[in-house]
Structure 1
Amino acid sequence: MQKVTGMGGLFFRAKDPKSLAAWYERNLGITRVPQDYDTQPWQQSAGPTVFAPFSRDTDYFGRPEQMWMINFRVTDLSAMVKQLESAGIPVEVDPESYPNGRFARLYDPEGNPIELWQPEQSG
């Protein structure tokens, strides 16, 4: 059986796509979509990706009409939180450390939930 090899993109609607793309680039380091085929798009680091459909009545994403949430892996959650808070972005850090790592939550300027995940290092 053929299988997909990874995520190739995340596409979603935005009220102001240019401004939102600039916010993600400035605060999370995700470069904007190239305007030509010679420029490489943002390259993510190899690592785990969780693909998990949730029940329609979950409150994990926040408001009921929110149909998705993106989770980004980070190497140093504390440093990323400090960087975001220094930019005036509120971040809620989960105080618990789980067997699979640590988490924090923030929202982009359009109210979309973003989860940051520092995976637990196996060794």
Structure 2
Amino acid sequence: MEKVQGIGGFFFRAKDPEALGRWYRDHLGINIAPTDMEMVPWVSDAGVTVFAPFAEDTDYFAAAQRFMLNFRVVDLDAMVTQLESAGIDVYNRQEMEGIGRFAHLRDPEGTPIELWEPAPTGDSE
């Protein structure tokens, strides 16, 4: 069976696409999709990508939202400090044994974002 290799893009509607694209670039380091040959696309580091449908009545993120973005980070504490220094509210920090550490925020249009620092794999032991 052929399998997809990972997420090739994420497309969504925005009230102000240019401003929202700048917010993601400036605060999370995600380049927006190129519109010419000089622009550099966002290239993510290889790693786990979780695909997880949630129950319709989940309370893990706001009921008004159909999706939540999850981004892997190397150093959650450093990312949270960076975001809070920019005046961005980061909340609901938690740890799941064997899975990793998490923190939540919202983009300027209210989209829920989860930052995930995966737990060490134990390969170095």
TM-score, scaled relative to structure 2? 0.92
* Residue 12, structure 1, aligned to residue 12, structure 2: yes
What is the letter of the counterpart of residue 83 of structure 1? Q
Deviation at 1:59, TM superposition (A): 1.3
Q: Which residue of 1 aligns with 2:103?
A: 104
Deviation at 1:95, TM superposition (A): 4.0
Cα separation, 2, equivalents of 1:45 and 1:104: 20
Deviation at 1:96, TM superposition (A): 3.4
Show structure 2 runs of 5+ residues with no match. Answer: none
Show structure 1 runs of 5+ residues with no match. Answer: none
Q: Which residue of 1 aligns with 2:26?
A: 26
What is the letter of the counterpart of residue 33 of structure 1? A
What is the letter of the counterpart of residue 18 of structure 2? K
Quote the sequence identity (%). Answer: 59
Q: Which residue of 1 aligns with 2:79?
A: 80
- 1:23-78 residue CA offsets vs partner (Å, 9 max, x unmatched): 0000000012111246441000000010000111111111x221000100000000
1:77–1:93 Cα change, 3 Å: farther
TM-score, scaled relative to structure 1? 0.93
What is the letter of the counterpart of residue 8 of structure 1? G
Q: Which residue of 1 aligns with 2:118?
A: 119
Mapping for residues 41-60 of structure 1, pairs under 5 Å: 41-60=41-60
Cα separation, 2, equivalents of 1:2 and 1:95: 36
1:6–1:96 Cα change, 3 Å: closer
Cα separation, 2, equivalents of 1:56 and 1:100: 23
Give the root-mean-square deviation of aligned CA atoms. 1.3
Pairs aligned (count): 122
Equivalent residue of 1:96, what SS? strand
